[in-house]
Amino acid sequence: MDPRGVAVSGERILVLGAGIGGLVASSVLKEELGGRARVTVIDRKTHFQFPPSYPWLMLGLRRPDQVQRSLGALRRRGIEVVNDEIVSINTGSRVVRTAGREFPYDHLILAMGADLVPDAVPGFREHAHHVYDLDAALRFKGAIERFEAGTVAVGVARLPFKCPAAPYEVALLLHDHFTKRGIIDRVRFEFFTPEGQPVPSVGPEVGAKVLGFLRSKGIAYRPKLKVSEIEAERVRFESGETILYDLLFCVPPHRAPKAVVEAGLADETGWVAVNPRTLETRVAGVYAVGDVTALPTPKGFVPFLPKAGVFAHGQAEVVAHNIAVRVKGRGRPTEWDGKGACFLETGRGQSAFVRGRFLEEPPKVEFYMPGRTWHMQKALFEKYWMHHWF
């Protein structure tokens, strides 16, 4: 029986992770297969949270309840939801072990995302803020409310990181916020990153436009800097340079989840290698989508596809459909097209928009300058996600 009391027979499909990729994959699988398969989602969290809304949360433009939903809602679709820590993945015996149970599987989808590793940078946890989870965004909100004057430093600790536009969006939104508060004349901005240009994955032309947005606000841009240590009021870099700050936002280092690495599923990049069109790993019956993957783009603007929820969404649809075709023994498999898009909030109720086909050689990218229409489109996209999938 599935959670609705409907009889289930046949294949056991495990989805590890209930972020964007896991949510889409499990929902599409259940829609296409119904009672032909048992679909189980495992995640330590009890709620799905919508990361694109975290910058609005940090400014008090959203409440926590507006950007999260209970994963228990998936049970109404017949999806089994397990809230537990994933301890190990044994691809030889086809068993996933959590802190409390063992789960045999016939098909496995890795959608566990990237773990945040603030302790990889000494002093990060004590001194830096970020918006890469809900609780951190709320803590940053409090720091923003208390800030009155001084230097705001915004930056990136390590590559790669998910949502390449996020730190740039944070810098521009903070500038707009302090302008509205009437204290911008007492605020200085510094932006630091290991990248050679803003948002390098979308190419030099778009990067130049984003750099122009920063410079138009008087935000100093310091590329090719890798953080070595964070102290109270000072960021140190491997080059020996330093930046002084009074308020610090920094994207924390990312890494693949421990269970994925210990299972031998990560390659020399530290992430899971996949077929870029089918998202199959080197292990039969195991797929990976979203941030946990390392997807080469040999003729792209950067060596690997950036980590972004929009890619996880499209990849999950392909994987779920193709598994359903195999289970049913009929239908036509499909391939991922490499399409992606991203909003970049620039303040004053405006947003820029970029979209592209990132598996083409070279990638085809279109950029749209900031406007209120794109800002409203992002708000509508948020509403779609929080209602359609729940």
pLDDT at 277: 97
DSSP helix/strand/coil, 238: coil
Would strands 220-222 and 227-231 be described as parallel, antiparallel, or unpaired?
unpaired
pLDDT at 131: 98
Q: Tell me whether the CATH fold assigned to 11-114+256-337 matches the one assigned to 118-253.
A: yes
Domain ranges of the chain: 11-114+256-337, 118-253
pLDDT at 8: 58
pLDDT at 279: 98
Percentages (nearest 5) of helix, strand, coil residues in the chain: 35, 30, 35
Ranges of the chain with pLDDT below 70: 1-9
What's phi and psi for 97, nearest 5 deg? -110, 130
pLDDT at 135: 97
Q: Count of H helices and E strands in the chain?
A: 9, 24
pLDDT at 356: 96
DSSP state of 287: E
Cβ distance 202 to 301 under 8 Å? yes
What's the CATH fold of domain 11-114+256-337?
A: FAD/NAD(P)-binding domain (3.50.50)
pLDDT digits (tens, 9 = 90+) for 301-359: 999 999 999 999 999 999 999 999 999 999 999 999 999 999 999 999 999 999 999 99
H runs (alpha helix) in the chain: 20-33, 54-58, 124-127, 134-146, 166-180, 204-216, 258-262, 309-328, 372-388
Q: Which CATH number fits domain 118-253: 3.30.1120.10, 3.50.50.60, 3.40.50.360, 3.30.70.1290?
A: 3.50.50.60
Please work out, in degrees rounded to the nearest 5, the angle formed at the alpha carbon of residue 14 by the alpha carbons of 8 and 20: 115
Amino acid letter for position 191 = F
DSSP state of 207: H
Cβ distance 121 to 252 under 8 Å? yes
From residue 208, give the alpha-carbon distance in Å to each of 4, 16, 169, 193: 52, 38, 15, 15
Cβ distance 238 to 246 under 8 Å? no
Please work out, in degrees rounded to the nearest 5, the angle formed at the alpha carbon of residue 206 by the alpha carbons of 200 and 207: 45
Mean pLDDT of the chain: 96
DSSP state of 9: -
Length of the chain: 390
pLDDT digits (tens, 9 = 90+) for 27-69: 999 999 999 999 999 999 999 999 999 999 999 999 999 999 9
pLDDT at 369: 98
The set of residues, in sequence order, having a beta carbon less than 8 Å from that of 193 and lying 6+ positions away, is 155, 156, 167, 222, 223, 224, 225
* Tokens coding 265: 């599923």
Burial of 100: CB neighbours in 10 Å, binned 0-12, 13-18, 19+: exposed
pLDDT at 299: 83
From residue 108, give the alpha-carbon distance in Å to each of 269, 287, 371: 21, 6, 42
pLDDT digits (tens, 9 = 90+) for 340-356: 999 999 999 999 999 99
Amino acid letter for position 49 = Q
3-class DSSP string for 254-300: EECCHHHHHCCCECCCCCEECCCCCCECCCCCEEECHHHEECECCCC
DSSP helix/strand/coil, 306: coil
Cα–Cα dist 328/57, whole Å: 43
Torsion of CA 343, 177, 247, 210, to 10 degrees: 40
| Distance spanning both ends of the chain, measured CA to CA | 21
